[in-house]
Structure 1
Amino acid sequence: MAVIELHDAYIMQDVNTILQKVTFTLEKGEFVYLVGRTGSGKSSLLKTLYADLDLGSGTGTVAGFNLPKIGNSGKVPYLRRKLGIIFQDFQLLFDRTVAENLLFVLNATGWSGKARKQQRISEVLMRVGLANVAGKMPHQLSGGEQQRVVIARALLNEPLLLLADEPTGNLDPDVADSIMRLFVEINNSGTAVLMATHNYQIIRQYPNRVLKCEQGQLVDSATTPFQLKD
């Protein structure tokens, strides 16, 4: 089953075409990298996939939701419950504890039952190796720990797909590697991952299929092999 399917899709930012005739499929449980220079369209593509930007034209489905029609259907929140979205700059609420950050998402996505919510928060924090930080404030954590909290937040609703935008971009190499191992472990348990990254060292260490944004096109290493050049 495909979790992403785009065909002749135009990725737009306002009235500007960023990528054209984008066609690719990402299967359930697959791990794919998204590369390209700054401004080449990586973030715009990810935003289109989680319906922050409208699909310009063409066809596309993500987690079974039809992208061209989703903006007017009121279904964007339901799409996002099927996704885990991970940002480079964390986007944690700094006036709340780790547990309160996670609780905010559970409340926003319709969870009920105090004990059930606390149980889920404990589960995801344990999953990312942070069982003891629930009561801490984000500023008390290292960058790597904050990113693990962001991954825990993304896992709350057991997503079919993780969309990660430069998740190791602000981390030193050792921390980046530990975050990458966590992504591999999550992927091995059946969650598909699409990760935008500039870190070609990580791609060489953990090789997978690569999509490259280049000159308004999306090139797929599965059909058009290419060299990664730093």
Structure 2
Amino acid sequence: MSEPVVELQGVTVTQEERAVLERVSFGLEKSEFVYLVGRTGSGKSSLLKTLYADLPLQVGAGTVAGFDLERLPPGKVPYLRRRLGIVFQDFQLLSDRTVGENLLFVLNATGWRGKARKQQRVQEVLMQVGLSGVGGRMPHRLSGGEQQRVVIARALLNEPTLLLADEPTGNLDPEVADGIMALFAEINHAGTAILMATHNFQLLEKYPHRVLTCQDGALLDSGSR
């Protein structure tokens, strides 16, 4: 068996000095697709922030993409995040530069070298998300679904072992959301594990996977027996 992409044991997830989830224990295998559900304020986003080290792990043990969250010095956080892809609901694209420049910004920030190599990687990820012709366009000239595809392309730049998606279809109409889910399925089948927070229970019925539920300060796992 390969090492899990995520493994938490007895973790307390803390937001602003307050425990929002306690005794959290679960694993996520390579190439697994798991939903994260729960009411607003139940701890979904806080759990995701703990996984990408935006919130420190103070109680319990956890590893993500081979990094020990308990013993992760601030200087190593960027190295963890290079192993992850993070997709936000509100896109967070830089509005003053083109799609291609948004992607190049990430490659420059994560230490890529060589102009031709960077341009090639930008074209590869845009093709992967079905947007090979939009590199020269400004984000505001794209539809919401296209902007979300750019965000996914950005998350794929460093070939992550794990994609963390926080309500990625929350601002999209159902037809566009279906396209995003089909894209996630392709990414997942290619070997990237996905943990996706969502409020959309229709997606869970249409594309069934294991479900983690944040409820009353605990994390319930549909995969546990």
Report the TM-score when normalising by structure 1. 0.96
1:62 matched to 2:47? The reply is no
Structure 1: how far apart are the matches of 2:204 and 2:93?
A: 27
1:8 matched to 2:10? The reply is yes
Residue aligning to 2:54: 52
Structure 1: how far apart are the matches of 2:21 and 2:200?
A: 22
The amino acid across from 1:46 in the alignment is L
Which among 37, 40, 50 is matched to residue 39 of structure 2? 37
TM-superposed CA distance for 1:84, in Å, is 0.1
Structure 1 runs (4+) deviating above 4 angstroms are: none
1:117-169 deviations in Å (ceiling 9; x for gaps): 00000000000000000000000000000000000000000000000000000
Structure 2: how far apart are the matches of 1:69 and 1:193?
A: 24
CA-based RMSD: 0.7
Residue aligning to 1:209: 210
Residue aligning to 2:19: 17
1:197-221 deviations in Å (ceiling 9; x for gaps): 0011111111000000000000000
Structure 2: how far apart are the matches of 1:144 and 1:196?
A: 18
The amino acid across from 2:54 in the alignment is D
SS in 1 for 2:106: helix
Residue aligning to 1:177: 178
Structure 1: how far apart are the matches of 2:16 and 2:56?
A: 9
Identity %: 71
SS in 2 for 1:75: helix
Residue aligning to 1:77: 78
The amino acid across from 2:103 in the alignment is L
SS in 2 for 1:105: helix
Residue aligning to 1:191: 192
Total equivalences in the alignment? 223
1:12-56 deviations in Å (ceiling 9; x for gaps): 012100100000000011000000000000000000000000113
The amino acid across from 1:221 in the alignment is S
Structure 1: how far apart are the matches of 2:48 and 2:77?
A: 14
Residue aligning to 1:135: 136
Residue aligning to 1:156: 157
Specify every segment of 5 or more residues in structure 2 that has no aligned partner in the other structure, as ranges: none
TM-superposed CA distance for 1:74, in Å, is 1.3
Structure 2: how far apart are the matches of 1:30 and 1:194?
A: 8
Report the TM-score when normalising by structure 2. 0.98
Structure 1: how far apart are the matches of 2:147 and 2:54?
A: 24
Specify every segment of 5 or more residues in structure 1 that has no aligned partner in the other structure, as ranges: 225-230
Residue aligning to 2:100: 99
